[in-house]
Structure 1
Amino acid sequence: MTTVSDFSPATAKSTALSRRFYITAWRWHFYAGLYVAPFMIMLAVTGLIMLWTATLFGRDGEKVYTVEPQATLASVSAQAGAATLEIPGQIIQYIAPRTPEQAALFRINQGETSFMVAVDPYSAEVLGHWDRRDGLYDLASDIHGTLLIGGFGDQLIEIAAGFGIVLVITGLYLWWPRDGQGFVSVLVPRLSAKGRQLWKSLHLTIGFYASLFLVVFLISGLTWAGIWGEKMTQAWSTFPAEKWDNVPLSDKTHASMNHGGVKEVPWTLEQTPMPASGSAAGVIGTPEGQPVTLDAIVALARTLGFDQRFQLAFPGDDTAVWTISRDTMSNDSANPLLDRTVHVDQYTGRILADVGFDDYGAAGKAMAAGIAFHEGDMGLWNLILVNVFCLSLIFLSVSGFVMWWKRRPKGATRLVAPTVGEPGPLWKTGALVMLGTALLFPLSGAVLLAVLLLDLLLFRHIKPLKKALS
């Protein structure tokens, strides 16, 4: 039974404040979405291209050719010799076949151009070659990471990812059940609704489920970004080279082993210095007193447990090392627990460093698993989940635009953003929550502060501009 106290001034004031805070959150969600939505569509589309290119053809093209398994394998040195006859140049990488039916791959550099050569591992016959940097995976990866405009594109994407976190927080607040509605209204869309209400219900439900994964994808993606990832998170999570006892270090870091925009080195190792060849350091690797050849290094890799697909980076100069690696970052395996990187002195064949998943710090372990999940490497379930998630992101971005268009008065010449009116007592709380969230991500925080200052000093004082953005 309704009583007079239900309509007391205190209750009315509380309701008004709650409504004002709701509109404020909606306004944040609206403006953040304007910037983030195009990036989310781009990231989802390029992510799907990379996912399916890797699934159908292999990230390095290893699935393009198939071979007939034979009783014996040709030596890897014979395979490498055939590859260099096809493409004369400097071999920089060997990728062992994942299955008996796959070809072996060699990466060969000719000046600034990098070629991949596929070789039958049984007959050492060259099956084909292609320009590595012209692959569809590489193109999608470059767009996904830099928009093809280098560091500036990386920064634009990092800003979008930071505001993506703001979208998740405001979205969850906006769609939290209220006014007597239960969680069913969130978990199940109202398909009986019409028009904008149907779009709103679908946006609500799909957004709720997608938000559970969006933060994981955004954080794992942000850890590759130039500011939040490289300058902040990665800087304090880098594997300490001091763990390698009395090993001479190179001026180069592990990041030098990446090829173009495609990341191939475990995240936690990127900023760690490489060990250097040319000393008596390390432990026994290849048989002592025997030449340190390509075949000897591959035999060592097999002895150490590198089966199926693994990668071998050739020494690039007089102080460089042989590097045997298997990690989920490179799509070598579906299990991040099997990540392993071994460096071998090119002169003595001694093992200078042997780093596995157990050696990573907490952040390194989280990234090894997070990136594997992000790329859909953990099996069929992961592949399906990433596909559904990317399609959900596209729908959320498009449906947000549709809802805005349907709410917008016909012929309106302004954005028709949610209007709060004069700031109330709770506006500072909302601003602080959003500001604190954005400041966890420096570029997003800097942009947010710049927008707030522009609004305070410029936008609100120029009536045509204020009207257009309102």
Structure 2
Amino acid sequence: MTTAPSTTTDEAPRPAAPAPSKNSWAPLRPLVLRLHFYAGVLVAPFLLVAAVTGLLYAASFQAEKIVYDHELTVPVGERKLPISEQVAAARKAHPEGTVSAVRPSPEDDATTRVLLSGVPGVDEGHTLAVFVDPYTAKVRGALEQYGATGALPLRTWIDEFHRDLHLGEPGRLYSELAASWLSVITAGGLVLWFSRRRALRKVRGTNG
């Protein structure tokens, strides 16, 4: 008696497919990417202007010595006159306003600055600097001055352009807004860079 061969085969059960890992970062990445992009568009013009004007401001100290050489320097004489005579010469040439400070000649070839406040036509918070030859008491010129560093018109113009783009209050608000978003751009850029690095490592099959 013959028996029919069995048609059934024992097959090993296939392992269940692993459940897809949940990545909470995937839905957030487009949001971070757009935020990083649009914030960059807002801040980029300010960063460009700030970088250029900052470089110009750093060079403005030397540029002032060249542009205002006649007012700042004098031929070296034998003896410097008393400060009172130099102030009297400055007041004779510019009787307007009041004397707020005097900066004696710091070097042998430098002029004395007599600072006048309340001068008509001079911006509020600025003074009129009268440059006097300390050897002859001759007035060599007068320029508007700003700040404790004695910034003359060239440096003052660059400084204001750096701070508010010469737009007044709107420019100041824009610069402050752009500066406040720098941290957001930096954080978003780091997050995007880190996530991209992790993705590349997974593709290459490496750990760590």
Matched, 1:66 2:81: no
Matched, 1:112 2:125: no
Residues in 1 aligned to 2:164 and 2:180: alpha-carbon distance in whole angstroms? 16
Structure 1, residues 372-392: CA drift from partner, whole Å, max 9, x if none? xxxxxxxxxxxxxxxxxxxxx
Report what 1:18 is aligned to.
25
Residues in 1 aligned to 2:89 and 2:30: alpha-carbon distance in whole angstroms? 67
Report what 2:110 is aligned to.
102
Report what 1:156 is aligned to.
174
User: Aligned partner of 2:114: which letter?
Assistant: F
Contact 1:33 1:167 in 2 (8 A): yes
Structure with the largest fraction of helix: 1
Residues in 1 aligned to 2:57 and 2:102: alpha-carbon distance in whole angstroms? 22
Contact 2:99 2:116 in 1 (8 A): yes
Selected match of 1:93 from 94, 101, 125: 101
Structure 1 runs (4+) deviating above 6 angstroms are: none
Deviation at 1:163? 0.8
User: Aligned partner of 1:141: which letter?
Assistant: D
Residues in 2 aligned to 1:63 and 1:24: alpha-carbon distance in whole angstroms? 59
Report what 1:54 is aligned to.
61
Contact 2:83 2:104 in 1 (8 A): no
Contact 2:72 2:131 in 1 (8 A): yes
Relative to structure 1, the CA distance from residue 27 to residue 75 in structure 2 (aligned partners, 3 Å threshold; closer, same or farther) is same
Residues in 2 aligned to 1:107 and 1:63: alpha-carbon distance in whole angstroms? 18
* TM-score, normalised via structure 1 length: 0.32
**Pairwise mapping of residues 195-210 of structure 1 onto structure 2 (< 5 A)?**
none
Selected match of 1:126 from 113, 120, 139: 139
Deviation at 1:166? 1.4
Deviation at 1:30? 0.7
Report what 2:11 is aligned to.
none
Matched, 1:43 2:50: yes
User: Aligned partner of 2:109: which letter?
Assistant: E
Report what 1:169 is aligned to.
187
Report what 1:392 is aligned to.
none
Deviation at 1:76? 1.9
> What runs of 5+ residues in structure 1 fail to find an aligned partner?
181-470
SS at match of 2:113: strand
Relative to structure 1, the CA distance from residue 39 to residue 96 in structure 2 (aligned partners, 3 Å threshold; closer, same or farther) is farther
Residues in 1 aligned to 2:164 and 2:187: alpha-carbon distance in whole angstroms? 26
SS at match of 1:57: helix
User: Aligned partner of 2:49: which letter?
Assistant: M
Contact 2:54 2:162 in 1 (8 A): yes
Greater Rg over alpha carbons, structure: 2
SS at match of 1:26: helix
**Pairwise mapping of residues 285-364 of structure 1 onto structure 2 (< 5 A)?**
none
SS at match of 1:129: strand
SS at match of 1:9: coil
Relative to structure 1, the CA distance from residue 142 to residue 85 in structure 2 (aligned partners, 3 Å threshold; closer, same or farther) is same
> What runs of 5+ residues in structure 2 fail to find an aligned partner?
1-14, 147-151, 202-208
- The share of aligned pairs that are identical, in percent, is 27
Contact 2:131 2:140 in 1 (8 A): yes
Residues in 1 aligned to 2:69 and 2:99: alpha-carbon distance in whole angstroms? 17
Deviation at 1:98? 4.3
Deviation at 1:131? 4.2
User: Aligned partner of 1:65: which letter?
Assistant: L
Deviation at 1:63? 8.6
SS at match of 2:57: helix
Relative to structure 1, the CA distance from residue 20 to residue 92 in structure 2 (aligned partners, 3 Å threshold; closer, same or farther) is same
User: Aligned partner of 2:193: which letter?
Assistant: W
Deviation at 1:71? 5.1
Deviation at 1:115? 2.9
Selected match of 1:9 from 10, 20, 38: 20
Structure 1, residues 35-70: CA drift from partner, whole Å, max 9, x if none? 111122222233233222223215xx5895323444
Report what 1:138 is aligned to.
156
Contact 2:70 2:140 in 1 (8 A): no
Residues in 1 aligned to 2:33 and 2:106: alpha-carbon distance in whole angstroms? 50
RMSD of aligned alpha carbons: 3.3
Deviation at 1:103? 1.9
State the aligned residue count. 171
* TM-score, normalised via structure 2 length: 0.65
SS at match of 1:148: coil
SS at match of 2:72: coil
SS at match of 2:44: helix
Residues in 2 aligned to 1:131 and 1:161: alpha-carbon distance in whole angstroms? 30
Residues in 1 aligned to 2:69 and 2:88: alpha-carbon distance in whole angstroms? 19
User: Aligned partner of 1:118: which letter?
Assistant: F
SS at match of 2:181: helix
**Pairwise mapping of residues 404-415 of structure 1 onto structure 2 (< 5 A)?**
none
